Structure formats: structure tokens, C-alpha cells
Structure 1
Amino acid sequence: MEKKERIKKRPTLLQGMIPILFMVISLSFGVGVLKLRTEPIIILSAFVAGVIAWKLGYTWDEMQAGVIDKISRALPATLILWSVGLLIGSWMYAGTVPMIIYYGVDIVNPKFLLVTAFLITAVLSTVTGTSWGSAGTIGVAIMGIAAGLGVSLPATAGAVVAGSYFGDKLSPLSDTTNLAPIAAGSELYEHIRHMLYTTIPASLVALVVYFIVGMNSAGSATTPETVLTLQAQLSEMFNWNIILLLPVALIIAGSLLKWPTIPTMLGTSLFSVLIGIFVQGFTLKNGFISLIQGFNVSMTGFAGDVAPIVTTLINRGGVVSVTVTTVLIFCAMGFAGIMSVTGMLDVVLEAMLKKVKTTGGVILSTIASCFTVAFVTGSSYLSILIPGELFRDAYVKRNLHPKNLSRTLEDSGTVLVPLIPWSAAGAYMTTTLGVSTIEYLPWAIMNYMGIVFAIILAFTGIGIAKLNPEKESEAAVEVN
């Protein structure tokens, strides 16, 4: 006897809103108050969405198909995330990142400390793809120098945060830089190039302010002991050689020449392991361990007590380090899959965009959604994934290229989270730099100026890419 097919109903706005509201409230209380893990809460939210889907007439097989579809779309970027873990572990093993930090600290100019703080952390975060690692290593050293020079600590912390998130936003090694194209449906390197429209102007504004303030607060003092210790121990652990910069050159070349992302990262990782073996004298076994579990200071054979700042720098990388992000992606895609296949996202989106008629309105709505998710959840990942899924089809319907959406997600998602005191990023920066979030917030200029420029571009049309320029031209001719 054939199984009777269930009649599917179109969800109401209330039915579409229930899973979203449940997730928002649960994350606010669960993560914000009880300090619970995010992933189980999202799974529970997916269960709520599943119950409503079942009442609408959808079977488990149909919901599962929606979940599998979303996860399959995320797999290419997930492979990139794993490649990032491999790359960071191998760069630590080769001595590439330690050398950049060693000489970066060495060139800090007290007269232009704020400018230097921004530039060095921007370079380091771009090379490594991590804002936390940049702030926790070179950022700590810069804060020590600022204290010795009598330079404003909130201003210095703001410059460090802004510089750290410059790379977190633009680096192909950054998890959020990879997540935004996943959510929007754009391609990694076109997404990075498109972000320059807002990131470069925002950074220039920040540099001008840092230059003016820095000129008025410059002084002279001896280099803090922490900086001397950092350099001394790094130089004992590694052999400095220009060859160590070749992995960086390969990644930059791959970005400019549009080489396939994953093969480029994997090839660079293996090349970095060879550098670690032949230049640093490390073992092949430790090279492979670094790729999977991350590099550890014990692999250098350094004798003596290792300074905490050095340990923070060295013990990083490996595929294992990105597994938490991978799990979060799968959980979020599970929730999004059920919401999408049942049409619940569609009814919510239709209600939100009912009165939005212009490109500026769509982008402004996206920014508002990112703000809401970021403030409620304190998660840069969710502030990208949820609005991305919500607005993805809306951009396509309005002939807007998906890279407009991925850029807006980063402009108002990634860089906003460290400015929220109750977020993990805000708490980390406060603990690491010794300055409260509220104090450094005004000085993290790049973080919020990017949003300002995003709004300007949205309403002027500058830097707004069309999905099909010919279609727009034909429409314009018909109107005339």
C-alpha cells in the first residue's frame, strides 16, 4: 500500500517567526546569562523549527534533504577552514609567523605608536587570519610599550583591536572571511576584493586620527621587559632567514593570480613543513603533528621557562583548532535548512522587505539584522550566518551580486562583535589588553567606520555590483 503524501501548507508569519524568536531568546539567556554552549541551543532551535515543519505537512525525509542541501553548500568553505588550520600550524612550525612578530615589535616607533599599532596588527592578522592571536601576542607587547611611553591605553587598545580585525575581515585565512561567502553565496577572493570599497576608506580615516593623536602624545621611554623577553626567546627558538617569508609570498601570489584556494593552502602548508625541517632543524614527526594538532613550544627544544606571551604565540594552529567552527557551521546550516525548505524564511523575509524598494533599503535592512543578531548573541559567526541566509535570495531577486551581501555581513557583523561588552570577543580583548570594551570602543575606528561607508555606498550606488549589468541596462532603456 502506497504511503499517502502529506498536504503541505504555507507557513504563516507567526509560524516563521517562532523558531527565530525561540533561538534569539534562548541564545540571549543561555549564552549571555548561563554561559552555555551555542551549538546545542541552535540544535534545539532546529528541533522547534522541525516541529512546526511537521505540522505544516513536511516529512523528516524532506527536512533532512533541506539540511543536507545547506551543509553540502558549506562543505567547500569547511575544507578551506581545515586548510587554514593546516596552514597556521605549518607557519608556526616554519618560523614564518614568529619572525614577522619579532621584526614587527622591533620597528615600533614611539612617536607614531597608534599608527604603528594599527599597521602591525593589521599585517599580522592578515597573515595569520586571527584577530585574537594578533591582539594576544603583538597587541600585548604594544600595550606594554604604550604604558612605558605614557600613551593613552584606551586609544592604543582601540588601534590594536581595529588592526586585529582588519585582517580578520580581509584575510583568506580568517574563519569569518570564509563564512561570509558561504552565507551569501559569493566566492572567497571576489568577496575579499569587494570589501576593499569599505575597509580601505575606514582604515584611512582611522590612520589619520591615530596620526594626529599620536603626534600629541609621543614621548620616550625604555623598551618594556616583556618585549625584550619576547624577542630574546623567539630568536633562541628559531633561525631567522628570508626564506621564511616565502609561504607568505605564495599565499599572496595565489590571491592575486586566482589560484585554487585549497590546493594553494595545502601546497603552501607542505612547503612550510619542509622549511621547518631544513631551516629550523625540526623533526618531520613534529611537522605532521603541527598540521593536525597545532605547533607547541616544546617542539623547538627551548630550554628554560617560556614567557606566557611567547606561549600564547606558539601554541596555535592545526586542523583541530577549527573543529569548533566547523561544528557551529553544521548546526547553523541544519537550522537554516529546515527554515528554508519549509518556506518559513521566505515569509519572514517577505514581511521584512515588504516596504523596502531600494538597494539602499535592502543593505540597510541587512545591517540592522546583523546588529540585532550580534547584540543579542554576541557571536560573529551567527551575525553572519543568520542574516546571510535570511537575505540571500532577496539580493538575487533585486539583481544584486551576492558579494554585496557578503561584504555587508562582514562590515556589520564580524567587526561589530568585539565592540559588544558581553560578547566573547569583547571579553577576550578586555582581559588581554587590560582596557574595558566601552573605553576602547571609540578608538576602534575602522570597526564602525566600515559600517558608515557601507551605508554611504548603498545609497550612492558606488561600489554596488550588479548580478547582471546587461539586464539592468536593458531595463533602463525600456524605461527611457
Structure 2
Amino acid sequence: MKRKPTFIESISCFIFLAVVVGVGFGYFKIPIQPILILSAAYAAVIALRVGLTWSEMEEGIIHRLKTAMPAIFILFAVGIVIGTWIYSGTVPMMIYYGLKIIDPAYFLVTAFIIVAIVSVATGTAWGSTATAGVALMGIATELDIPLAMAAGAVISGGVFGDKLSPLSDTTNLAPLVVDVDLYEHIKHMLWTTIPASIIGMGVWFFVGLNLGESTATTGNVEKMLNELDSIYNWNLFMLLPFAIILWGAFAKKPTVPVMLLSSVIAVFVGMFSNGFTLIDGATSMANGFNISMIQSNGFDTPAFSETVTSLITRGGIFSMTTIVVTIFCGYAFAGIVEVAGCLDTILDSFYSKVKTVWQLVGITILGSAAIVFTAGVASISIIMVGVLLKDVYLKKGLHTKNLSRTLEDAGTMLLPFVPWGVSGIFYLEVLGVGPGEYWMWAIPCYLCIVFAMFYAFTGIGMAKTSVSEKGTVSKEVNSY
């Protein structure tokens, strides 16, 4: 006979996850995938105790994986884009001219702005960090900019755009769940996003002034430029793959088909501009670009430095398999916990104690963060917390766009900090820096929560409503 799990049973799943991740992944450096499977096994034991069958648990896992498929498609497309954009010379060209133009003192601020613009245009933090971000990390390496700092600025720019772009999936999902106009939602998010970003840029600016005296020697930079010169024949056609991505964004075309179209064009650009073969182009899609492709053309090429070799030997659809496997393992845990009712039990126990506005916003943040750190994606937290708290916000006289804003502040913005989450592993794979290194430099990502709580305490930036007897919004009476 099925029953609702107790609070102790429910919270034990998350305590078990925290312990095994902390000890296994954090201390013993065990790969995260078997740890997630072990956590899913414990959750399955709890699910059996409350009366679920294995078949029902499988259905819960499958349901969760179904919601992850769009993200998986994007991951595979990103892998293809990286491989083909290096093959075509698109990313190396950005690095080449970036090294000539960007001043080390302003690199961090510049990196944030560039990636933010690309992310707003494309609607994806992953796509912007995997293209412009990869190029900027290559520049940071040669300018001796600490990679943790560079990754923090790049990721912050990517998440900034992902949060505010009308093309982003989470930006559309949050207002949809709580019944708010999309552009009202985006406008309301400026309250937390803009000041957090300004503070971040201020910190990066003053830190960057100390980086102005770069320890990178002119000889090292010139050597890298000369090596890239010997591989690629620079021309404006190399920017065509990037232009296609921007066109797709402004034309509101589906993300994955546009990314694949960009990759196909990149293959032809690489063939005609650099003399690479079609077979190598197809191989770049699957396994990424490789330095051997240059030598296979019969050119008398010198041995390349380790920096250039590591920079251009990357990408391909198979480079994303680790992330996809992690998604399957993580969703095994998340699916079982959700179908067993553990999340509902925990959230209900907290929501019953909400008395004030700041407690309500705080519970929204805690609930969203708990689910994000459990599932590793923001969509689940947005849906679950949004549905559960929508009426509570209305009863408190608060417009639900306060809820949609906080869902993104504690969801989209926190994703990069989850080491076992899809985003954390993605950034480690693409940028070469993990959450444990870049977290303190991804300043806007955690300051959004600080501003959310500040507004909750003071009432500033909290839109209010009058509520009808049915608990629906009749009109907005005050918006700070």
C-alpha cells in the first residue's frame, strides 16, 4: 500500500547524497557517476518503503530524462560546433585578433561583456561559453590571466544572457509556470541582475588593473600567433559560422538546427580556406579537431607548442558523452526522489512555517537551491517550486513575477556551482576549470540571491497585488 514518505525518510535521501558526494567526490576524488547511482539506490530503498514498485520508479526516471532530452540535443550540437569551428578557424581567429586587441587590464570585464552579448543573442549560456568563451580562455592563457578568474567572468556573462534572453528556455519556463508575461518577467529580473553584474564588473575591473602588468612575454604571444598563422589562412568567411548563429537567434529559429547548419558551413569554410579535407571535417564533428589533420595535408609543418596543441585539439560529439552519462545517473536519483514524493514532503514542511515576505523569498531560494543541487538542472526547480508557491505569493499580496524572478535567481544563476550538475561538468569540460576554482569569481551568480533577500527585507523592488477571493490577481496596486 502506497503512503506519503515521512520528513525523516525524505530528508535522509538528500543527507545521503550530500555525505557520499562530499566524501566520495570531494575527498577521495571518486568519479561522480557511480556516486549518483549509489544515491539513487538509497532513494530506491526509501521508495520501496513507501510502497512504490520498480516499474513506477522506472517511469519516474524516464519522465525526468524526457525533460532532459532538449538539453542533451544542445550538448551534442555544442560538441559538433566546437570541433567544426576550430576546423574552420572561427575560434582560432577570435583568439588571434583578441590577443592583438584586448588589454590584459580590462580582460575580465571585456570577457563578461562579450559573452553576455552573445548569450543574450543566442539564448544559451552553453553555446556562448563554448564559442566566444573558449576563444577568451585561450586569450587568457597567453596573457597569463588566472584561468579561474577568466572562467568566472566568462560563465557570468553566459548566465547573464541565459537569464535575460527571450530565447532562453528557463526564461520562458519561469513566467509560464507562474502565469506572468515574458517581458514583464525579464524586466523584473533587472532588479537583481543589473546591480549584481555592476558589482561583478567593478571587482573584475580593479582586479584587472593588477593584471595589466602581464607576465606573459611578448615572445610567447608572438610564438602562438605565428603558429596559428601557419595553420589557418585568415579571412572574413571564418566569421560566417558565428554569423549564422546570430542570425538564428534574431530570427528566433530553433537552436539545435541552427547550430548544426553553422557546423556544416564551418566544414566548407575549413576546406576552402585552410585546405583541410572533407573527411577531416566530418571527423571534427565526431571526435573534434586534431593536430594530425594539419600534417595529413602534406604541409611541412613544425612541431606546435603544447599551448596551441591543447587549444585546438578539442570538440566533437563524443566529447559530450561524459556529461550525458552524468545526466542519466543524476536523473536516476532525481526521478526516484520525485516520484516517491520526497521533494513534496520536504517543501510542504517548510512552506507551512512561512509568515513574512522575507521568509517566503528565503524558502523559495532554499527550495530552488536544494532541487538544483539535487537534480543539477534549473527546469525541475522552476516547475516544482513555482507550482507549489504561486498561491502563497498571491495570498501574501505579492505579484507572481517576484516568484518567477527568484526562481531564476536561485535556479539559473546557481547551476554553474553544482560540481556534479550538467552545467558544472560542461564548464569543466569546455573551459578546463571546475566550480571549485571559479565559483568566487562568478560574482553576479551568487549576488543575485543577496539582492533578492535585500529586496524581500526592505520591500524595494517587490511588486504587489490585490487578491480576489479565488486567490487570483485582480490588479497590480503597487510596483516599486
**What TM-score bracket applies, with the shorter chain setting the length?**
0.7 to 0.9
- Aligned counterpart for 1:89 among listed residues 79, 83, 89: 83
Say which SS state the counterpart of residue 474 (structure 1) adopts.
strand
**1:9-53 superposed Cα distances (whole Å, 9 cap, x missing partner):** 111111111211111111111101111111111111111111121
Return the offset for 1:287: 0.8
- After superposition, the Cα gap between the structure-2 partners of 1:71 and 1:432, relative to the gap in structure 1 and judged at 3 Å, is closer
The separation in 1 between residues aligned to 2:433 and 2:343, in whole angstroms, is 39
Match of 1:109 among 86, 100, 103: 103
Please tell me whether the aligned partners of residues 147 and 433 of structure 2 are also in contact (alpha carbons under 8 angstroms).
no
Equivalent in the alignment of 1:52: 46
SS at match of 2:144: helix
Residues 361, 8 of structure 1: CA spacing in aligned structure 2 closer, same or farther, 3 A cutoff? same
| 2-structure distance, mates of 1:457, 1:108 | 37
Q: What amino acid does structure 2 have at the position aligned with 1:405?
A: L
User: Structure 1 residues 50 and 112, CA, compared in 2 at 3 Å: closer, same or farther?
Assistant: closer
C-alpha separation between the residues in 2 aligned to 1:135 and 1:217?
15
Q: 1:409 aligns with which of 405, 411, 423?
A: 411
Q: Aligned equivalents of 1:442 and 1:282: distance in 2?
A: 41
Structural mapping, 1:35-46, within 5 Å: 35-46=29-40
Q: How does 1:205-224 map to 2 (within 5 A)?
A: 205-211=199-205, 223-224=217-218
The match for 2:152 is 162
1:287 alignment partner AA: G
Shift in Å, 1:413: 3.6
The separation in 1 between residues aligned to 2:198 and 2:94, in whole angstroms, is: 23
**1:47-446 correspondence to structure 2 within 5 Å:** 47-109=41-103, 112=106, 115-116=109-110, 119=113, 128-130=128-130, 133=134, 136-143=137-144, 159-170=149-160, 198-211=192-205, 223-301=217-295, 303-356=301-354, 361-368=359-366, 382=376, 391=385, 393-395=387-389, 398=393, 399=400, 404-414=406-416, 445-446=443-444
Question: Residue type of the partner of 2:59?
Answer: A
Q: 1:111 to 1:136 in 2, by over 3 A?
A: closer
Q: 8 Å contact 1:294–1:315 — kept in the other structure?
A: yes
Answer yes or no: is the 8 Å Cα contact 2:193–2:444 preserved in 1: yes
Deviation digits for residues 225-261 of structure 1 (CA, Å, limit 9, x no counterpart): 2221221111111111112112212212222332111
* Percentage of pairs with the same residue: 33
Q: With structure 1 as the length reference, what TM-score do the two structures score?
A: 0.75
Structure-2 separation of matches of 1:222 and 1:25: 42
Q: Structure 1 pair 116/465, CA: closer, same or farther in 2 (3 Å)? A: farther
RMSD between superposed Cα atoms in Å: 4.5
Distance 1:84 1:465 in 2: 41
In the alignment, which of 18, 26, 30 is matched to residue 24 of structure 1?
A: 18
Give yes or no for contact 1:383–1:414 (8 Å, CA) kept in 2. no
Q: Which amino acid aligns with 1:316?
A: R
Deviation at 1:295, TM superposition (A): 1.1
Uncovered stretches (5+) of structure 1, i.e. residues with no partner: 1-6, 145-155
Distance 1:221 1:238, change over 3 A: same
| Structure 2 Cα separation of the partners of residues 201 and 10 of structure 1 | 43
> Which residue type is aligned with residue 58 of structure 2?
Q
* TM-aligned CA distance change 1:20 to 1:109, over 3 Å: closer
Alpha carbons of structure 1 residues 349 and 260: separation in structure 2 relative to 1, 3 Å: same
In structure 2, C-alpha distance between the alignment counterparts of 1:230 and 1:464, rounded to whole Å: 53
Matched to 1:129, the amino acid is T
TM-score, normalising length from structure 2?
A: 0.75
Q: Aligned equivalents of 1:245 and 1:405: distance in 2?
A: 36
Going from structure 1 to structure 2, the CA distance change for 1:339 and 1:372 (only over 3 Å counts) comes to: closer
3-state SS in 2 of match to 1:9: coil
Asked if 2 retains the 8 angstrom alpha-carbon contact of 1:183 and 1:384, the reply is: no
Q: Residues 359 and 310 of structure 1: is their aligned pair in 2 closer, same or farther, counting only changes over 3 Å?
A: farther
